[in-house]
Structure 1
Amino acid sequence: MTAHDAASHAGDAASMSLTPETISLLRTQLRGLARTYHQKPAAEIFVKARSIRDTIERRMPLTHRPGQSSELFLLAGQACALLASAAFDLGSQDASETLTMAALAYVRPIDHAPLIAWCGGNLALLAYWDGRPAEALEHVKAAQGLATSGTAKRRLHSIAARTYAHLGDPDRVQYELQAAEQVDPDIRDDHHDDMGGEFGFSVERAAMSAGSSWLLIQDGANAVQASTRALGLVQTRTPEQRSVKVEMEATADLALAQLLNADLAAAIATLGPVFDLPPEQRVDGLLSRLLGVRNQLTVPALHRHNEAVELGHHIEGFRRDSARSTLPGAPRYQLGS
């Protein structure tokens, strides 16, 4: 009787599986969302990624096949990672950190190194944005030990450069930025490259990040060079490939670098396209950069100029009407100011 029961249960368990098409559809939906991330408002991405994650979670109990379970765990982790990116862009760093940890909880049991490395980089990014650069350095070093693809290494070297910039170490900033440029782009992985999109890290994104690193250590000349390069690379892309987020954040960095070089007229001209951006595309990274521009306008060399006062007022109004107010369930996630 025991043998019969065991055989019966084993047969029932073995018969529980999903069709290959079910998992393939979920992967296709998630890849499409990641690759169109730069074309859609972050709030829309958040809603759609949450829907995909919920569908994945409902499918998990419907299969007992280890291979399918591992695939679903990976997809659930990637959905949470995409949610983490959207939450950050919408100004909720706490939600972004929680969602990044959720992604790790899904993929650590299946030892998926590329996504674990991506999450480590994201935790580093969140830590230095929150004023914890020493913790950020721990995260990025751990992640670098897992990265194999050129894209993953470029991203982590860029994040490391920003981390060292927050720590005030220009020599390490220079080292990490050079390392980011020397990666082999032909070495790929299934997260940063095959899933790609928001999980990738293009050369223009790396150049934009380099500009931000130079700004943190008050190197206006190198910041102008890096931010200008980022904008030049963006402009080589087709409209479908172009990331408005990267373009606008690099533009704000360039304006701040120009102010560091005491060129108010150039900064005003540079920021023109930024002010045309609709509220749903005014993501948190851009708002934070514009706050840096606003603060720079108050230095003694600039604050007496009428143009500086007017630009400061314009930035304040622009920041009040932003994508932060569009995060679904905003009260629950306690949006930052």
Structure 2
Amino acid sequence: MCAEKARGFLSGAGQSNVGRAQIEELADDIKALAIDYPVKPVEDLIPELARTQIEIFDYLRGKQPPLVSIDLHLLAGVASGLLAKASHDLRNPREAMTHARTAAECASLAGHPGLQAWAEGMRSMIEYWTNQYSQAARSARRGIELTPGNRGSSAIWLASSEARALAAQGRITEAKAAIEAADRIREVSFPDTLDEIGGLFSFSPARGLYYAADALARGRKDCATETEEFASRALAAYSSASPENRSFGDEAGSRCDLAIARIHLGNIEGAAEAIQPVLELPRPMRIHGIVASVEEVEKTLSTIPHQGRAGKSLSDEIVEFRRCPLSIENPFTDAKVL
């Protein structure tokens, strides 16, 4: 009887509903989407993002050898991470968090602590932009603790995310320490499997400068000079980057931080010049983070008692910008979860 059971097992062992070529095609699709994400409007990417996630989940519901399942779970985690960012950009934090949790679960099933940590970074981002700053700091810290030996660029992202969340709570000294920690990690970092995917899964030096500026902007006038320096350096780094290494969202955020710094320094004309390209972005590129950053500029401007003509003009332009945010039908309401 035992021998018959063994023969029955052997007859099905190695069978798979997905071949190596299909896995490689899916990996290529995922990499292309990750690279395209920071530089293209989210509505252009949604159909392919949704199709890819569904296809991977459909394969996982079938039968494949364990090593193939590991590959599929890793791809599912990356796809879900991209969908978390897409839902966040569409101002749907609940759906975004569902996809982030799915990314973390898939990463766990794939045995990939680096992606698990990255998923915590995505959770921190979602929480930060919904004003849940203490939760955002905790999520970033969990990601850091998940992979103490991780020296890929996602470790830099987690430290930078923690800095931004701490600064939003008014803990500027701790935020500066976290920025310094991110710099130390970068000095010893080397590319990991997520960096090899690239795009949204790689944390470039330019992006690090933007996060530092975003954190220090919370220090208002006391940190205005430092904020202006980091934001200017971020924009200079992005302007010299290759097209595929740019990020319209992070560049817009850097411009908003530069505008905030200049308002605190009494240079409203310079602030208007800094933010003008953001206010001219077409509607499909007005994602949640950009609109929220513009609102921070508006709040800062409102604290200035004598704005003059330049301040009034800038305020009117911001009001007009906010009237036309990105608004498309959200396809992620019924999020697929393993």
Pairing 1:175–2:201 present: no
Q: Which residue of structure 2 lines up, in the alignment, with residue 250 of structure 1?
A: 254
Contact 1:224 1:257 (8 Å CA) reproduced: yes
Deviation at residue 105 of structure 1 after TM alignment = 1.9
Contact 1:43 1:327 (8 Å CA) reproduced: no
Q: CA RMSD in A?
A: 2.0
CA distance in 2, matches of 1:123, 1:281: 22
Contact 2:163 2:176 (8 Å CA) reproduced: yes
Q: Which moved more, 1:178-187 or 1:29-38?
A: 178-187
* Structure 1: 5+ residue stretches without partners: none
Q: Which residue of structure 2 lines up, in the alignment, with residue 326 of structure 1?
A: 328
Distance 1:134 1:116, change over 3 A: same
Q: Which residue of structure 1 lines up, in the alignment, with residue 213 of structure 2?
A: 211
CA distance in 2, matches of 1:143, 1:178: 18
Pairing 1:113–2:116 present: no
CA distance in 2, matches of 1:37, 1:114: 20
CA distance in 1, matches of 2:97, 2:332: 16
Q: Which residue of structure 1 lines up, in the alignment, with residue 25 of structure 2?
A: 25
CA distance in 2, matches of 1:124, 1:276: 29
Deviation at residue 289 of structure 1 after TM alignment = 0.9
Contact 2:154 2:201 (8 Å CA) reproduced: no
Deviation at residue 275 of structure 1 after TM alignment = 2.4
CA distance in 2, matches of 1:206, 1:300: 29
Q: Which residue of structure 1 lines up, in the alignment, with residue 314 of structure 2?
A: 311
Contact 2:95 2:333 (8 Å CA) reproduced: no
Q: Which residue of structure 2 lines up, in the alignment, with residue 198 of structure 1?
A: 200
Alignment of 1:1-337 (within 5 A): 3-4=3-4, 6-147=6-147, 148-183=150-185, 184=187, 186-191=189-194, 193-218=195-220, 219-303=223-307, 305-323=308-326, 325-329=327-331
Q: Which moved more, 1:33-42 or 1:6-15?
A: 6-15
Identity of aligned residues (%): 25
CA distance in 2, matches of 1:68, 1:330: 27
Deviation at residue 228 of structure 1 after TM alignment = 0.4
| Matched pairs, number | 330
CA distance in 1, matches of 2:209, 2:49: 28
CA distance in 2, matches of 1:108, 1:78: 12
CA distance in 2, matches of 1:66, 1:80: 21
> What TM-score results when the alignment is normalised by the length of structure 1?
0.91
Deviation at residue 18 of structure 1 after TM alignment = 2.5
Q: Could you report, residue by residue, the CA deviation over 1:7-43 in whole angstroms, capped at 9, with x for unpaired residues?
A: 2344124323532111011001000110111221112
Contact 1:151 1:185 (8 Å CA) reproduced: no
Q: Could you report, residue by residue, the CA deviation over 1:221-250 in whole angstroms, capped at 9, with x for unpaired residues?
A: 111011001001011112343222221211
Deviation at residue 109 of structure 1 after TM alignment = 2.5
Distance 1:242 1:129, change over 3 A: closer
* Structure 2: 5+ residue stretches without partners: none
Q: Could you report, residue by residue, the CA deviation over 1:300-323 in whole angstroms, capped at 9, with x for unpaired residues?
A: 4245x2332222121122122222
Deviation at residue 130 of structure 1 after TM alignment = 2.5
